[in-house]
Chain A
Amino acid sequence: AQTVTQSQPEMSVQEAETVTLSCTYDTSESDYYLFWYKQPPSRQMILVIRQEAYKQQNATENRFSVNFQKAAKSFSLKISDSQLGDAAMYFCAYAAAASGTYKYIFGTGTRLKVLA
C-alpha cells in the first residue's frame, strides 16, 4: 500500500527567509503524481504545486519549488522569501495514475509558522 510521511509536525521560518518541508512516500507504482497543498485556518485546501513522476525536472511556482528525488522517494517543498501569508498547514499528497482513480493519499501535515 502506498504511504506518505511528513516527519516535521511543525516548522518555523523568519519572514523573507527560506524554509524546506520534507515529504517521503512509498509506492511500487511507476506512474504517479505528487502534490503539495496548503491549508490555512479557513480550512480551504489550496494546491501549491504538483509534480508528475515521469518528469525529471523539478516543478516551480513563483516562490515555491520542489526537490523531487524519485529513487529516494522524496518530495520536499522549498518556500523562498517567506511571507506572513504562507503560515498554514502544508500537506504532501500522492496519487497513482495506473488505477484510473486519482484518489489522493495525504501525509499528516506540517504546520508552518512565519515569524515577523
Chain B
Amino acid sequence: NAGVMQNPRHLVRRRGQEARLRCSPMKGHSHVYWYRQLPEEGLKFMVYLQKENIIDESGMPKERFSAEFPKEGPSILRIQQVVRGDSAAYFCASSRVGNTEAFFGQGTRLTVV
C-alpha cells in the first residue's frame, strides 16, 4: 500500500508563473489536507478537502491560491502568479473518514526565482 505521493518533489518557478502541486492520497483515504512550511517554521494548515468538496479553506491566502480534489485523480494545489514569498515546502496529508491520524507525503519544495 503506497503512501501519500506528492509530485514534483522540487519545483522551480519564475515570478509570475503558475505552480501546480499534486497529491495522491493513500488508498482508501478520502480526506486531503494541505500544509505550508516556511523555512525554520512549523507546518501551517491551508485547506481541507474531500472528494469534489472544499470543507475548510480558512488557512488559504485569499488571492492566487486554489485547491481541488476531483472525483478522479489527485488533489491539486494551484498557485497563480507566484511571488518570492511563496517559496516554501508544501505538504499534503490524507486520512480515512473519521480518523484523526493523517499520513503525510514527502512534500514539494517550491522555489520562486
Partner of A91, one of B31, B43, B109: B43
Contact of B43 with A106 in the complex, beta carbons under 8 Å = yes
Check A104 against B43 for contact (C-beta < 8 Å). yes
Q: Given that A103-B33, A103-B48 are contacting pairs, would A95 and B100 also be in contact in the complex, using a CB cutoff of 8 Å?
A: yes
Per DSSP, chain A at the interface is loop
Say yes or no: is B52 at the interface (Cβ < 8 Å to chain A): no
The answer on a CB contact under 8 Å between A104 and B89 is no
Tell me the number of A-to-B contacts counted with CB atoms below 8 Å. Answer: 54
- Scoring B55, B102, B109 by chain A CB atoms within 10 A of each residue's CB, the highest score goes to B102
Q: Contact size class for A?
A: 20 to 34
| B106 close to A103 (CB less than 8 A) | no
Are A106 and B42 in contact, CB atoms less than 8 angstroms apart?
A: yes
- Majority secondary structure, B binding face: strand
Interface core residue of B31, B100, B101 (most chain A CB under 10 Å):
B100
Which one, A44, A91, A104, contacts B102 given CB within 8 A?
Answer: A104
| Known A103-B33, A103-B45, A103-B56: A97·B100 in contact at CB below 8 Å | yes
CB within 8 Å of A: which B53-67 residues: 55-56, 59
A101 is an interface residue with CB less than 8 A from chain B: yes
A residues at B contact (CB < 8 Å): 4, 6, 33, 37, 42-45, 47, 50, 91, 95, 97, 101-109
List residues of B whose CB falls within 8 A of some A CB: 31, 33, 35, 41-45, 48, 55-56, 59, 89, 91, 93, 95, 99-104, 106-107, 109
